[in-house]
Amino acid sequence: MLPFFGDFYGNPSSIHSVGRKVRAFLDDCRERVAGVWKCKASEVVFTSGATESINMAICGTARFLKPKGRHIITSAVEHHAVLHAIEYLVNKEGFEKTILPVDVEGIVNPQDLENAICDKTILVSIMAANNETGTIQPVSELGSVCRRSGVCFHTDAVQWFGKEPFDNIQQFNADLVSICGHKFYGPKGSGALFIRSPLSLDPILFGGSHENERRAGTENMAAIAGLVEAISLFVPSPVFDRNLMTPFIDRLSSLHSLPGVNLVCPYACRLSNTCSFTIPEIDSITLLASLDLDGICASSGSACSAGSLNPSHVLSALGKTDIEASSLVRFSLGRETTEEEIEFVLDRFPTAIERIRLA
């Protein structure tokens, strides 16, 4: 990434030699992604991250296809980037939505999708893997349902990339695939959208003809360079190696034997590095603060604003009560996680809970 802050500072849209040099790098970056994804370079659009990719996929496709119909289908466990984009289209632009339920492990039933598709349906958006529970969806099967019905299919594959075996972008059976760099050791603020040709969509940003007229704005070359390097290094052979992660996650899962601690989605096919629990008598934020006192960095699934905790919409969709859905704690392992770190968490977790119970 560093050369793009120095010698290669030029703007890839400039016609002078400094700009042209950077343009050649940008073209090369797109070719490299296309090489890994096994798609055409023109099917790759660089963005500022998953939120932008997802908004572009959903709003851009819905607006482009609205002469055919205004019905969009998604699932109850999507990231808010998906849910809020669709909500906006429904509230402000006259679209209709169907939110599919999930089973207790967080899986969408392809039959439910098939039943929900009607002649007004133009777009389906279902994620490849969930960020709160790690549950992996049968995306290819869901994509087949859409294909059979001639409906455009988008998948938010943000959590999936770099963690599951990847062969080519067609394996999702999707017309649109959103990713971002920072989930597999690329830079934050980098992302990409796969748009299967010849699908067209309306732009959501205006002002220039960048990215083949699909995303206006001068390209962030350093971020793109970092993203492409991470894709080349970490996507064909996932950086989160399941063989390394499984014993750690199995060991961490044993926390559910503590009184009042429940493992979330224990039977689902899950991402190799993700493990979540609920502890219904304790809210997530208090537990995260207690773990942080011991130097343990964990996440909740909930949005916390101005000190108020919203129950996780994902856990609510799994049928959990508000109290359970407000008590999610999620551990995400990294490629450098060690056995000692796992043992440290196992050792301190009961203390972190006890500290709260005694307070």
By annotation, the residues acting in catalysis are 304
**Which of 79, 210, 270, 313 touches ligand PLP by CB under 6 A?**
79
| DSSP per position, 62-101 | HHHHTTT--EEEEETT--HHHHHHHHHHHHHH--EEEEE-
When asked if residue 186 is in the footprint of ligand PLP (CB under 6 A), the reply is: no
When asked if residue 220 is in the footprint of ligand PLP (CB under 6 A), the reply is: no
**Which of 26, 83, 124, 180 touches ligand PLP by CB under 6 A?**
180
Q: Which is nearer to ligand PLP, 180 or 225 (CB)?
A: 180
Q: Which is nearer to ligand PLP, 155 or 337 (CB)?
A: 155
Beta strands 121-125 and 152-156, pairing class: parallel
As measured in angstroms, the least distance from the Cβ of 9 to ligand PLP is 25
Measured in whole angstroms, the distance separating CA 239 from the mean position of its chain's CA atoms is 16
- Tell me the C-alpha distance between 166 and 184, whole Å: 13
Range in contact with ligand PLP (rule: CB under 6 A) among 151-159, 212-220, 256-264, 328-336:
151-159
When asked if residue 156 is in the footprint of ligand PLP (CB under 6 A), the reply is: yes
- Tell me the C-alpha distance between 269 and 180, whole Å: 22
Q: Which is nearer to ligand PLP, 44 or 82 (CB)?
A: 82
Residues 9-68 that bind ligand PLP (CB under 6 A): 49-51
As measured in angstroms, the least distance from the Cβ of 114 to ligand PLP is 24
When asked if residue 300 is in the footprint of ligand PLP (CB under 6 A), the reply is: no
**Beta-carbon contacts of residue 115 (< 8 Å; ≥ 6 apart):** none
Residues 117-136 that bind ligand PLP (CB under 6 A): 127, 131
- Tell me the C-alpha distance between 331 and 108, whole Å: 23
**Beta-carbon contacts of residue 67 (< 8 Å; ≥ 6 apart):** none
Binding mask 251-290 for ligand PLP (x = CB under 6 A): ----------------------------------------
When asked if residue 312 is in the footprint of ligand PLP (CB under 6 A), the reply is: no
As measured in angstroms, the least distance from the Cβ of 180 to ligand PLP is 4
Q: Which is nearer to ligand PLP, 22 or 174 (CB)?
A: 174
**What 8-state DSSP symbol labels residue 224?**
H
Does an H or E element contain 246, and which?
helix 242-253
As measured in angstroms, the least distance from the Cβ of 177 to ligand PLP is 12
Q: Which is nearer to ligand PLP, 57 or 117 (CB)?
A: 57
- Tell me the C-alpha distance between 214 and 282, whole Å: 46
Number of residues engaging ligand PLP in binding (CB under 6 A): 11
Report whether the peptide linkage leading into residue 198 is cis, meaning its omega lies within 30 degrees of zero: yes
- Tell me the C-alpha distance between 46 and 10, whole Å: 18
As measured in angstroms, the least distance from the Cβ of 103 to ligand PLP is 19
Q: Which is nearer to ligand PLP, 117 or 298 (CB)?
A: 298
Nearest to 311, CA basis, from 298, 301, 319: 301
As measured in angstroms, the least distance from the Cβ of 343 to ligand PLP is 28
Angle at 347 between CA 342 and CA 348, to 5 degrees: 100
**Which of 81, 224, 231, 352 touches ligand PLP by CB under 6 A?**
81
Residue type, 283: D
Angle at 281 between CA 275 and CA 285, to 5 degrees: 60
Point out which residues bind ligand PLP (CB under 6 A).
49-51, 79, 81, 127, 131, 156, 158-159, 180
